[in-house]
């Protein structure tokens, strides 16, 4: 069962949620005079989660509050349980039947 939950308040926000993992690697490319390319990776990759969620009016208010307070969110999907804090949230798209769709990015957090 899918679930998006605010761990700080203990409230369930939505059961209509999906998640994909992304990683960003910092690297430098250098080309030598003979044409060879050297790649240097710096540090560990930054892992983020892109979450798509469908919410009603109450869920929209809870998500906006979670973004404002940098609350710890828990996302449970078929592939596992993930924790993070919202770093970016796109505009809410109004859907029929009083629902909204949005996509947001979570910065990976270790479980508490």
Give the CATH number, domain containing residue 29: 2.40.30
- pLDDT tens digits along 74-103: 999 999 999 999 999 999 999 999 999 999
What residue numbers bound the domain in which 59 lies? 3-108
Residue with tokens 């109004």, as numbered in its chain: 94
Max alpha carbon distance in the chain (Å)? 63
Q: Look at the chain and count its residues.
A: 112
Question: What average pLDDT does this structure show over 62-84?
Answer: 95
State which H helix or E strand residue 50 sits in.
Answer: strand 37-55
- Rounded to whole angstroms, how far apart are CA atoms 37 and 44? 21
Residues 6+ apart with CB under 8 A from 100: 54, 55, 56, 57, 59, 60, 92, 93, 94
User: Into how many domains does the chain fold?
Assistant: 1
pTM of the model: 0.81
Task: Identify whether the C-beta of residue 11 lies closer than 8 Å to the C-beta of residue 5.
Answer: yes
């Amino acid at each position: 069962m899918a679930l998006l939950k605010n761990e700080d308040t203990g409230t369930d926000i939505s059961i209509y949620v999906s998640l994909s993992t992304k990683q960003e690697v910092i690297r430098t490319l250098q080309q030598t005079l003979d044409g060879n390319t050297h790649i240097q990776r710096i540090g560990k990759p930054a892992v983020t989660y892109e979450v798509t969620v469908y919410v009603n009016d109450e869920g929209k208010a809870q998500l906006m509050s979670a973004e404002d307070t940098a609350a710890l969110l828990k996302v449970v999907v078929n592939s596992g349980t993930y924790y993070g804090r919202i770093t970016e949230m796109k505009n809410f798209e109004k859907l029929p039947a009083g629902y909204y769709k949005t996509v947001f990015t979570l910065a990976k957090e270790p479980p508490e």
